[in-house]
Structure formats: C-alpha cells, structure tokens
Amino acid sequence: MLVLGFESSCDETGVALVEVPAAGAPQLRAQALHSQIRMHQAYGGVVPELASRDHIRRVLPLTREVLSQAQVALSDIDVIAYTQGPGLAGALLVGAGVAVAMAAALDKPTVGVHHLEGHLLSPFLSVDPPEFPFVALLVSGGHTQLMRVDDVGQYQMLGETIDDAAGEAFDKSAKLLGLPYPGGPHLAQLAEQGDPTAFDLPRPMLKSGKPDFSFAGLKTAVLTQVKRLGEVPTEQQKADLAASTQAAIVELLLRKSLLALKETGLKRLVVAGGVGANRHLREQLNAACAKRQIRVHYPELSLCTDNGAMIAMAAAMRLQRGMASLRPGAGFEVRPRWTLGAA
Ligand code: ATP
Ligand code: MG
Ligand code: FE
C-alpha cells in the first residue's frame, strides 16, 4: 500500500511517499520539501497569508518531484494523508484541499493526521526506530510536552509548558540578540563560541517537582541582560549570552525528561520536534540517559522540523493498526487548534 502525505501547517510545504508493507515497518520511498523561511525572514516571523499562497505555489511541483523520484504514477497511490491540524488555518486548508481533491479524483481514501503525532512518530523513520512504550519529549516551535506513549494514539500527557514553547524560547531570545528568524539554529550556532556559565539565567519551575515547563521568565531575563549590555555588545558577549540561554533551556528539558522517566519507570525516551535538532540538547540527554540505562531515540536531523515524511508515516502507522478508515469520499475539516489525544 502506498501513502502520499502532505504537510502544510506552517511555513514548510512537505510531500512524501511511504510504502506500507503487509508486515513490518513502513518505508519512506521519496520526499520533497520547500521551506518558506527566507520569504518570511524579512518580516521576522511567519506571515500567514504569504504562507498559504506559497503552499499553493509549491504543493503540486513537489508532488510531481516525489512521484518521479519514486517512479510511481498518481494512480498507484492508495491513500492520501494530510496534516489536519494544529496550525495556521489558511495554510492547513491548502494541504487538506489538495489531498481531498486528489483523493476524490482518484476515488481513494484520505487520512487527516495530527501534526504533533507526525513529529512524535518521526523517529520511526530513522535507522534505529524506537519500540513502544516510551516517554516522548516533544519540543517544537509551538509545543513543549512530555508524554507517556503506549502505542499510536495512546498518549498520556505528563506535563507541558504553561507559557512559551522551548522553540519559542530559542526564537524570542535569538531575536533579542539580533539573530534572523527562526532564531533557534542561529542561537545554537552562536552558542558554540560562548561560555554557558557567563550569565546566571533563571531556570523557571526547575524544582516544581512536576514534569511541566515555563520559559517566559527566561525570555524576560535575556531581555534584561541584552539591555544591560547596551547598544553595541561585543561578539563574545553575544555568544556568551546565547550559550547561557541555550544551557538554561537544555537544563530544563533534561531535568524534566528525567523526572518523567523516573515517574513512569520507563527506560526509553523519544525526542521529537525542531528543538530535537539541537546538538547540545542531544549531548546532554545522551550522557544523562547512558548513565541510567535509558535508550534515547531521535528523528534524523532533517526530519526534526516540519516535513511530509512524518505525516505519511503517522498515517501509515494508523492504517497498519486499523485506526483509519479506508472508505473514499470523506469530506474534510481542518483543526487549527487541536490537542493531541482529543477526539
Ligand atoms: P509545532 O510543531 O509545535 O506546530 P513548528 O512546526 O513551528 O511548531 P518545528 O518545525 O517542529 O515547529 O520546529 C521549529 C522550531 O525548532 C523553531 O522554534 C526553531 O528555532 C527550532 N529549532 C530548529 N533547529 C534548532 C536547533 N538546532 N536548536 C534549537 N532550536 C532549533
Ligand atoms: Mg517551520
Ligand atoms: Fe511542527
């Protein structure tokens, strides 16, 4: 069975083809991605209307690219998956509209996928896929959650952020340091030359005793330091502040993940979402988990941020478990606000 997947929830247009064998793990056959980052950079963030329009421009050429890479005809596709939510409504509608129209023309079923389930299951596309059950640390631009995952669709929230997401904390701090959007990777790069102990930044809720997060206070502390440094901070001062900020975010993610692992007694951690690409986070988690005989799994670096492969994969795993309808002709509805685990 061949599943074509579309991702268009924010500023990446992703298309991918996953093959679902009769038995065994689904395999990625081909994928194509277009990031709109450069287009939005001039505005310092994602402009929803521009995002929707660009998805419209990109989605069919990317689909042709995927089909030609895999040497597959459109008529060979069995199921069409798309990101149903959460995300920008107009952006979601592009992927959903294309998926449903294509499915109608081909008389094939569609599967609406939860974007965060896509992130969560993206490590199953890696060479060393995890096994259920596990604790998931979902760290993206819009979410920071720790979950107990017993199988596809079986998610128990252990804790989440009460304000900003970890990716937002990276991005907002980076903006304060004058770095381009999205600042996470830029801040991480600048941090390589910095001293993580140079600035004493707060670790909000580190000792709350619960696997929940707060990052808003950290951003305010970074702002205070930026103001203190004055108009023209030196490159070294900026690098030191970047390294100190990254250290604070990573320490919070690390401590709370260990707490969730301890609470559940599970010996497996899965990290997913854009911040999961952070090298310092990976090093810290790897070291701490190795000491505790805990296995850690990540998506491939290129699959940490939004992509079509994770959407096709999530649909494939649902189909293998009989959790998605194979009846063609479904209507569609996007769900810009949608909690993972909610019906
Ligand atoms: P969501 O999935 O919650 O809807 P999103 O799709 O915007 O949000 P992702 O695409 O998963 O989020 O991740 C983007 C985020 O990851 C951005 O905040 C970006 O700065 C951050 N990010 C990417 N690479 C790194 C890195 N190396 N270090 C830190 N942050 C990073
Ligand atoms: Mg993005
Ligand atoms: Fe995402």
The ligand that comes nearest to the alpha carbon of residue 12 is 2
pLDDT at 343 over 70: no
Residue 103 covered by a domain: yes
Burial 288-301 (b: 16+ CB within 10 A, else e): bbeeeebebbbbee
Q: What is the rounded CA–CA span in Å between residue 113 and residue 313?
A: 10
Number of the ligand 1 atom closest to the C-alpha atom of 246:
29
Cβ of 44: how many Cβ atoms within 10 Å? 13
| 141 Cα–ligand 3 center, Å | 7
Instruction: Name the more confident of 329 and 82.
Output: 82
Question: Which strand ranges, in their side-by-side order, compose the sheet holding 27-35?
Answer: 27-35, 12-19, 2-7, 79-85, 110-114
Number of the ligand 1 atom closest to the C-alpha atom of 273:
11
Closest CA to 167 of 213, 205, 98, 136: 213
Number of H helices, E strands in the chain: 10, 10
Same domain, 332 and 272: no
Same domain, 81 and 221: no
pLDDT at 342 over 80: no
Judge whether 171 is annotated as a binding position: yes
Q: What is the rounded CA–CA span in Å between residue 98 and residue 57?
A: 12
CB 91 within 8 A of CB 10: yes
Q: Go through the chain and tell me how many residues it has.
A: 343
- pLDDT, tens digit, for every residue of 19-71? 999 999 999 999 999 999 999 999 999 999 999 999 999 999 999 999 999 99
Same domain, 257 and 164: yes
Mean pLDDT of 237-241: 98
Same domain, 144 and 223: yes
CB 207 within 8 A of CB 252: no
Residue 56 covered by a domain: yes
Same domain, 272 and 183: yes
Same domain, 293 and 310: no
Residue 32 covered by a domain: yes
Closest CA to 4 of 55, 56, 54, 72: 72
- Nearest protein CA to atom 8 of ligand 1, as residue: 141
CB 194 within 8 A of CB 240: yes
Same domain, 157 and 94: no
Residue 293 covered by a domain: yes
pTM tops 0.90: yes
Contact partners, residue 287, CB within 8 Å, separation at least 6: none
- pLDDT, tens digit, for every residue of 61-106? 999 999 999 999 999 999 999 999 999 999 999 999 999 999 999 9
User: Domain total for the chain?
Assistant: 2
CB 37 within 8 A of CB 51: no
- Nearest protein CA to atom 13 of ligand 1, as residue: 274
Mutate to test the pocket of ligand 1, among 300, 304, 338 (most ligand atoms within 8 A of CB): 304
Same domain, 19 and 152: no
Residue 84 DSSP SS3: strand
Residue 103: the pLDDT is 97
Mutate to test the pocket of ligand 1, among 275, 302, 311 (most ligand atoms within 8 A of CB): 275
pLDDT at 292 over 80: yes
Judge whether 140 is annotated as a binding position: yes
Which residue shows structure tokens 């998956």?
A: 81
Among residues of the chain, what percentage have pLDDT more than 90? 97
| 273 Cα–ligand 1 center, Å | 6
Residue 100: the pLDDT is 97
Residue 296: the pLDDT is 98
Residue 115 covered by a domain: yes
ipTM of the complex: 0.98
Print the domain residue range for 179.
131-298
Same domain, 213 and 152: yes
Same domain, 336 and 266: no
Burial 91-111 (b: 16+ CB within 10 A, else e): bbbbbbbbbbebbeebebbbb
User: Treating both helix axes as pointing N-terminal to C-terminal, what angle do 183-191 and 166-176 enclose, rounded to 10 degrees?
Assistant: 70
- Nearest protein CA to atom 12 of ligand 1, as residue: 141
Q: What is the rounded CA–CA span in Å between residue 153 and residue 150?
A: 8
Which residue shows structure tokens 């997913």?
A: 272
Residue 319 covered by a domain: yes
Mean pLDDT of 9-25: 97
304 phi, psi to nearest 5 deg: -75, -45
| 224 Cα–ligand 1 center, Å | 24
Name residue 145's beta-bridge partners. 138, 160
Residue 126 covered by a domain: no
Same domain, 294 and 317: no
Q: What is the CATH number of the domain that holds 328?
A: 3.30.420.40
Identify the residues whose C-beta falls under 6 Å from ligand 1. Answer: 10, 87, 115, 119, 140-143, 167, 170-171, 182-185, 188, 273-275, 277-278, 305-306
Closest CA to 11 of 181, 189, 185: 181
Work out the mean pLDDT of the chain and round it to a whole number.
97
- pLDDT, tens digit, for every residue of 241-291? 999 999 999 999 999 999 999 999 999 999 999 999 999 999 999 999 999
| 305 Cα–ligand 1 center, Å | 6
- pLDDT, tens digit, for every residue of 176-217? 999 999 999 999 999 999 999 999 999 999 999 999 999 999
Same domain, 105 and 162: no
Residue 158 covered by a domain: yes
Q: What is the rounded CA–CA span in Å between residue 334 and residue 14?
A: 17
